[in-house]
């Protein structure tokens, strides 16, 4: 690869990164993005076992949360809906001694069955969504990257 081509490719990559940074900074200030982050942060990450329990009871479920979480999001569980049973840890505070001092620490003690509800089982305010389209915009960058990879003897699979 000639030095001029390398510099041109580097300049284009830097321009793309700068443009992406500007768009990212603008998105971080967006009220839609902040509302979406606030909503997503209220959904727990479930264990593999709980994901299996959810799937076996409601394979069509998209987002699941407890009754009070849905309530805090401005949604309510429809009358007559049956909860999806999962296992939640029972956490107890225990005294633990370290270096001569006693601290109260939270430790898992066991598990209990709790109900969660799928988004499809609720009504109310719509949850904020982000309009994203990752299928457009790379038409000019991809061929440049493929050409650079070929010139550097990098095999793309």
**Number of folded domains that form the chain:** 2
d(CA 90, CA 134): 41
Indicate if 52 and 116 belong to the same structural domain: yes
60 and 113 belong to one structural domain: yes
Task: Give helix 141-151 / helix 3-29 axis angle, nearest 10°.
Answer: 140
Is residue 133 included in any domain, yes or no?
no
pLDDT averaged over every residue in the chain = 83
Same domain, 120 and 75: yes
pLDDT of 74: 93
Which of residues 153 and 35 earns the better pLDDT score? 153
CA distance 139 to 105: 54
Segment 16-20 shows an average pLDDT of 81
Asked whether residue 70 carries a pLDDT value surpassing 80, the answer given is yes
Do 71 and 34 lie in one domain? The reply is no
85 within a domain of the structure (yes/no): yes
Paired strand residues for 110: 90
Structure confidence at residue 144 (pLDDT): 78
Q: Domain of residue 74: give its range.
A: 46-127
Which pTM does this prediction carry? 0.58
113 in Cβ contact with 87 (< 8 Å): yes
Q: Determine the distance from the C-alpha atom of residue 68 to the mean position of all C-alpha atoms in its chain, rounded to a whole number.
A: 21
Q: What is the mean pLDDT of residues 45-67?
A: 89
Question: pLDDT at residue 67 above 80?
Answer: yes
149: enclosing H helix or E strand: helix 141-151
């Amino acid at each position: 690869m000639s030095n001029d081509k390398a510099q041109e490719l580097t300049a284009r990559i830097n321009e793309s990164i700068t443009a992406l940074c500007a768009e990212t900074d603008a998105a971080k200030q967006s009220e839609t993005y902040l509302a979406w982050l606030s909503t997503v942060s209220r959904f727990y990450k479930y264990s593999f076992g709980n994901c299996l329990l959810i799937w076996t009871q409601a394979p069509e479920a998209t987002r699941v949360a407890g009754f009070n979480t849905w309530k805090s999001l401005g949604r309510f569980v429809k009358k007559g809906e049956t909860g999806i049973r999962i296992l939640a840890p029972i956490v107890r505070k225990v005294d633990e001694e370290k270096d001569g001092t006693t601290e109260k620490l939270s430790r898992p003690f066991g598990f209990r069955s709790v109900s969660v509800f799928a988004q499809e089982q609720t009504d109310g305010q719509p949850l904020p969504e982000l309009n994203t389209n990752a299928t457009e915009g790379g038409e000019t960058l991809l061929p440049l990257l493929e050409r650079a990879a070929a010139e550097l003897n990098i095999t793309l699979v």
